[in-house]
Amino acid sequence: MNILDKIVIDKHKEIAAKKIALPIESLQKLPLFARDTFSLSESIKNGTGIIAEFKRRSPSKQVINQKSTVINVVKAYENAKVSGVSILADTKYFGGALEDLMQARNTISIPILRKEFIVDTYQIYEAKAFGSDAILLIAAVLSAEEILHFSKFAQQLGLEVLLEVHNLEELDKSNLTYVDMVGVNNRNLKTFEVSLDTSKELAVKISKDKVKISESGISSVTTIKELKEFGYQGFLIGENFMKTENPEIAVTDFMNELKN
């Protein structure tokens, strides 16, 4: 059993408990559920294309940053003119929380992606109720039917969808009708090795009407310029900022270099 299998099993247990503690009817009554969402895809197309991530730890790197606060980091991201912010909401494996999502939403006025292992429509209700504008669907843990169902349901709630793939097989099985953005994760989930060749090889296979996003292993402006030549408009950057002692300074320096 690999790490993804373990996460999915734990996620189903977690959701079962949540449905009892906070039913869907209660989620629908939360103030943020009724808000109009921002478009992450449009923000990427019309802006810098950078999606900056807030995460405390990961299964591959363990502790990344336990000192920085959500409020300070996401405000710095917004000030640096990123196109969107990604919030890791998983608790057990990434040290995140839905409260991080809500704090971010109450702090910034740019699109927020809920980065999570979504395996149930309950989590899509959650995403809307806690302030997300877009959700991540991971093709590696979902069937073709689930990808179609979840993406359509998200769109009905006014949320955009970023579908993450790791290889051609995952892309080929996915119905992209209700998907706004396709993200290519350069990290092999089995070995955790990172290769930008993954993004380059899959670029021509992604429909031209979808916003293309490259994820993982992006740590330099040179890399971004290189990937733009393959049609990528968005770039999800997580550990590059968070692994520093001061993510606020790190993102500002990076974005200044990108502008110049």
Q: Please give the positions annotated as active site.
A: 53, 55, 115, 164, 185, 215-216
Partners of residue 136 on adjacent β-strands: 162
Q: What are the E-state strand segments in the chain?
A: 50-54, 57-58, 62-63, 84-88, 112-115, 134-138, 160-165, 181-185, 211-215, 234-237
CB 17 within 8 A of CB 23: no
Q: Which helix (H) or strand (E) is 24 found in, with range?
A: helix 24-27
Quote the CA–CA distance of 6 and 153 in Å, as a whole number. 25
Q: What is the 8-class DSSP label of residue 213?
A: E
Task: Sort residue 90 into left (φ over 0), alpha (ψ -120 to 50) or beta.
Answer: beta
In contact, 75 and 84? CB cutoff 8 Å: no
Instruction: For residues 70 and 156, give the distance between their C-alpha atoms in angstroms, rounded to a whole number.
Output: 29
CA 193 to chain CA centroid, nearest Å: 19
What does the alpha-carbon distance between residue 54 and residue 247 come to, in Å, rounded to a whole number?
9
